[in-house]
Structure 1
Amino acid sequence: MGKTLAEKILSEKSGNDVCSGDITVARVDLAFVQDTTGPLTVRQFREAGFRKVSDSLRAAVFLDHAAPSPNRELANDHLFLREFARDTGCFFSEVGDGISHQIVAESLARPGDLVVGTDSHTVTAGALGAFACGMGSTDVAVVLDLGETWFRVPESIGISVSNHFPAGVFAKDLILYVIGRIGADGATYQALEFGGEAVSTMSISQRLTVANMAIEAGAKVGLFPSDDMTREFLAEQGRIEDYRPLAPDEDAVYSRKIDIDTGR
């Protein structure tokens, strides 16, 4: 039986042949925190007695959501996160460097990666073919120490997008249409997997827009294949070595299939 993108990535990261509904422990490639949820993560990390970030993953700290700091308390949180990043050697993004989700896509996430972050819009990196999802602060604190975490492998909704976007219709219209069709909880703890003729011509910027909003339908992840567009984007970022092709199997089994003609 063929595998969806979600099943492929979690099988690879767990070292097991897993299918939707299975519980598995998987190795995490990238874990990150931002400045509104990160302080709790770091406190939980220290209260648990953890001392160092696992050598098996890349970790990042972003000061981006409350930047510049609007009050004394958040200014102290910034100092706290700077200290943690310095002590642990995490990738650190200072105030003004950019928004975490964009930097993760441009500089850190790779096709086939398993990415977790203390932010629901971590799903944005799914545009590159990464299984990327938000998690609670305590969960990410444990990931930072162990380098792995457990998952229930999600069922996947296959969304096939055909034709091309007519004038005045954009990627955001596509994901708003999907959410309107299935409902704000229509994909709860499922993967939204996008494919089809129209997807093959969508830029990474367009895919980031769609993947970012997958959480608005309750989805665990929003996934795109890694294809020529992905390769071109990574090459533009000076990261061609991070490229790998990745697509679901032709006989992958989906919980539901939705066909969308963007020309109608």
Structure 2
Amino acid sequence: MGRTVAHKLIEDHLVDGRMEPGEEIALRIDQTLTQDATGTLVMQELEALGLDHAQTEVSVQYVDHNLLQTDEKNAEDHAFLRSACRRYGIWYSKAGNGVSHPVHMQRFGIPGKSMVGSDSHTPASGSLGMLAIGVGGLEAALAIAGEPVYLRMPEIWGVRLTGELPPWT
């Protein structure tokens, strides 16, 4: 059986390791996605890393999770996120632009690219033919800083369709 799209994407972005299930691999990341519930810590981690400018092709910070609150805390977080995005050259998507994962697919999704995101719906970009992996904030920050993401090579399953489709499909 030939290689799956997932195998090809991993191979194209492999920096280190062997593509054997369970083995540690390192992947080069093209894009990152953060949202306001996780992005504040990511931006603080970038500051701690001493980053001058994002090293990814595209990094986007979305404000779509913590929109309303009875005090000023969310508004202050959003102002911090906007200023951090200016500092690091990261796209800033303000409140009202839409939910991070579908907006990212529509505006920035590119088949064949790799992406990590600190949002649980990040893997949805896999529907575009991207290698899209949900990660924690530190991993997202390291990817923005140009570091590879380390993970265990997954066991990849496939589905083989046989026969012919009916004429109406």
Q: TM-score range by the shorter chain?
A: 0.7 to 0.9
Cα displacement (A) at 1:3: 2.0
CA contact (8 A) 2:61 2:85 kept: yes
Structure 1 unpaired stretches of 5+? 163-195, 202-264
Stretch of structure 1 that moved more, 153-162 or 141-150: 153-162
Judge conservation of contact 1:3–1:19 (CA < 8 Å) in 2. no
CA distance 1:50–1:15, shift in 2 (3 Å): closer
1:143 aligned to 2:143? yes
Match of 1:193 in 2: none
How far apart are the structure 2 equivalents of 1:94 and 1:103? 12
Q: Which residue of 1 aligns with 2:2?
A: 2
Q: Aligned equivalents of 2:113 and 2:11: distance in 1? A: 12
User: Superposition pairs for residues 161-200 of structure 1, below 5 Å?
Assistant: none
- In the alignment, which residue of structure 2 is the partner of 1:64? 64
Secondary structure class of the residue paired with 1:25: strand
Aligned match of 1:109: 109
2:52 equivalent in structure 1: 51
Displacement after TM superposition at 1:160 (Å): 5.4
Output one character per residue of 1:2-42: Cα deviation in whole Å (capped at 9) or x when no partner: 32222211100126773433322221111111000000111
Structure 2: runs of 5+ lacking an equivalent = none
What letter corresponds to residue 108 of structure 1 in structure 2? F
Quick one: distance in 2 between partners of 1:44 and 1:139?
10
Aligned residue in 2 for 1:75: 75
For residues 111 and 52 of structure 1, the distance between their equivalents in structure 2, rounded to whole angstroms, comes to 25
Q: How does 1:1-264 map to 2 (within 5 A)?
A: 2-14=2-14, 18-54=19-55, 56-67=56-67, 69-70=68-69, 71-159=71-159
Q: With a CA cutoff of 8 Å and minimum separation of 6, indicate the structure with the bigger relative contact order.
A: 2
Distance 1:51 1:197, change over 3 A: farther
CA contact (8 A) 1:116 1:133 kept: yes
1-structure distance, mates of 2:165, 2:19: 28
* 3-state DSSP of counterpart to 1:157: coil
Relative distance call for 1:197 and 1:115 in structure 2 (3 A) is farther
Give the distance between the partners of 2:54 and 2:138, measured in 1 at CA: 14
Q: Over residues 165-207 of structure 1, what are the superposed CA-to-partner deviations in whole Å (9 max), with x where a residue is unaligned?
A: xxxxxxxxxxxxxxxxxxxxxxxxxxxxxxx969xx7xxxxxx
- Give the whole-Å Cα distance in 2 for the aligned partners of 1:85 and 1:14: 28
| CA distance in 1 between partners of 2:15 and 2:34 (Å) | 26
Contact residue 24 and residue 151 of structure 1 kept, 8 A? yes
CA distance, structure 2, for counterparts of residue 57 and residue 20 of structure 1: 28
How many Å separate the matches in 2 of 1:97 and 1:73? 20
Contact 1:117–1:140, Cα closer than 8 Å, also in 2: yes
* Identical positions, percent: 30
- Opposite residue 145 of structure 2, the aligned amino acid is D
Pairwise CA RMSD of aligned residues?
2.5
CA distance in 1, matches of 2:129, 2:58: 18
